[in-house]
């Protein structure tokens, strides 16, 4: 049994922070003392954890004394400001934000894909973008069969990827539209209820969005191959939870859908749900609350045998965020890195 660790959670009252506490409870993570940290508007709140009511404290530079591991579940600005203080205080930081992902000195880790990268940590480990995580979990078993040349992905991302306010906005707009009233967008630039927004994050000069470029750059780093060509189109959809993705993969050697299906079925963290004739394929309502990546609609390209196409779904708050962070910590405990 691992020794209890003193744990801090930054952003403890947000969607990801709250889910992380649930995941730690479910997985019996070895928590000794738990410190919950958030912005000033949440200070003083009480949060239940394993039968105790824990008061939320202010996230500030001197809050990490005596902490073994600090999960950062807030924005990039907070991570850049406070993570170095946590490391200086002796904590290992597992950061869910975009602050350090492309830093060459910071491992970017999905435990089912590249756990070996953890050995090189210098106090901070980055957890990838939610949409990247679920895709690379499915790409890794394919990469083990043949080098991947190109990936084309279109995402269908739930509003909880934006946060609590976005989920509330979808709920309120849906009620308004169904009542024949006008929906008023606040979180998103346009109505999200009964609509699709091909716009996640800001647009870059190359025509891709920040979310799309995260998938491009993070995939190369995690899979350890800068020559993989990745093109992404990311779309926000009126779904509360779980991101879905349509993925097309070109490999150097033809693999075929049957071989890919077999590799995915035996891969860690993957569930193959692929019986279209019986109406079996991954859907958000089935993946919600689960930690696996569900893959289906696995099929050969009609013209080029080096391409395979599939559909995947995962819970963006769990595997795409909280669970991946906890799995990183579990792996570090296992490897004696904490």
Rounded mean pLDDT, 47-67: 95
Task: Kindly report, residue by residue over 2-32, the tens digit of the pLDDT.
Answer: 789 999 999 999 999 999 999 999 999 999 9
Domain 5-128+321-334 matching CATH 3.40.50.11540: the answer reads no
Give 1's pLDDT tier (boundaries 50, 70, 90): low
Q: Do domains 5-128+321-334 and 132-316 have the same CATH topology?
A: no
Rounded mean pLDDT, 21-44: 95
Instruction: Give the pair of three-digit tokens for residue 334.
Output: 């296992």
Active-site residue (options: 130, 171, 199, 242): 130
Rounded mean pLDDT, 289-295: 97
Q: Does an H or E element contain 142, and which?
A: helix 130-143
The predicted structure's pLDDT at residue 33: 95
User: What are the structural domain ranges in the chain?
Assistant: 5-128+321-334, 132-316
Q: What is the DSSP letter of 115?
A: G
Active-site residue (options: 73, 121, 242, 243): 243
Q: What b/e sequence results for 269-300 when a residue is b if at least 16 CB atoms lie within 10 Å of its CB, and e otherwise?
A: bbbbbbeeeeeebbbbeebbebbbbbbbbbbb
The predicted structure's pLDDT at residue 2: 77
Rounded mean pLDDT, 121-147: 98
How do 243-251 and 307-314 pair as beta strands? antiparallel
The predicted structure's pLDDT at residue 284: 98
Q: What is the percentage of the chain residues whose pLDDT exceeds 70?
A: 100
Res. 133: pLDDT tops 70: yes
Give 115's pLDDT tier (boundaries 50, 70, 90): very high
Whether 243 sits among the annotated catalytic residues: the reply is yes
Q: What is the percentage of the chain residues whose pLDDT exceeds 90?
A: 98
Give 242's pLDDT tier (boundaries 50, 70, 90): very high
At 283 the three-state DSSP class reads coil
DSSP state string for 223-278: HT-TT-EEEEEEEE-S-SS-EEEEEEEEESS---HHHHHHHHHTSTTEEE--BGGG
Please, what CATH class does the domain formed by 132-316 belong to?
Answer: alpha beta
φ/ψ (deg, to 5) at 99: -60, -40
Give 338's pLDDT tier (boundaries 50, 70, 90): confident
Rounded mean pLDDT, 235-256: 98
Q: Indicate yes or no: pTM above 0.75.
A: yes
Q: Check the CA dihedral 138-142-147-151 and report its sign.
A: negative
Give 216's pLDDT tier (boundaries 50, 70, 90): very high
């Amino acid at each position: 049994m691992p020794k209890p660790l003193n744990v801090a959670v930054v952003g403890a009252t947000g969607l990801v922070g709250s889910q992380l506490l649930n995941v730690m409870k479910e997985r019996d993570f070895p928590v000794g003392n738990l410190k919950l940290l958030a912005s000033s508007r949440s200070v003083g709140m009480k949060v239940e954890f394993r039968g105790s009511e824990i008061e939320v404290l202010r996230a500030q530079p001197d809050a990490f004394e005596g902490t073994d591991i600090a999960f950062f579940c807030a924005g990039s600005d907070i991570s850049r400001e406070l993570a170095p203080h946590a490391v200086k205080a002796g904590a290992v930081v597992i950061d869910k934000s975009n602050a350090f992902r492309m830093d060459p000195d910071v491992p970017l880790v999905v435990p089912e894909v590249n756990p070996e990268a953890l050995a090189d940590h210098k106090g901070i480990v980055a957890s990838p973008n939610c949409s990247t995580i679920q895709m690379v979990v499915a790409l890794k078993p394919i990469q083990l069969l043949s080098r991947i040349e190109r990936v084309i992905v279109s995402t269908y991302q739930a509003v909880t990827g934006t946060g609590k306010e976005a989920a509330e906005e979808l709920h309120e707009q849906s009620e308004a539209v169904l009542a024949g009233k006008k929906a008023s967008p606040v979180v998103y630039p346009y109505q999200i209820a009964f609509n699709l927004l091909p716009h996640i994050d800001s647009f870059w000069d190359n025509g891709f969005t920040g979310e799309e470029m995260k998938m491009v750059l993070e995939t190369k780093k995690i899979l350890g191959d800068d020559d993989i060509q990745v093109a992404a189109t990311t779309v926000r959809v009126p779904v509360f939870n779980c991101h879905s993705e349509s993925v097309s993969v070109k490999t150097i050697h033809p693999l075929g859908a049957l071989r890919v299906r077999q590799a995915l079925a035996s891969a860690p963290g993957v569930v193959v749900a692929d019986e279209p004739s019986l109406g079996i394929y991954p859907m958000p309502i089935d993946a919600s609350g689960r930690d696996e990546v569900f893959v289906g609609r696995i099929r050969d390209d009609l013209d080029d045998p080096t391409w395979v196409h599939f559909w995947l779904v995962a819970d963006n708050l769990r595997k795409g965020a909280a669970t991946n962070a906890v799995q990183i910590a579990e792996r570090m405990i296992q490897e004696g890195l904490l």
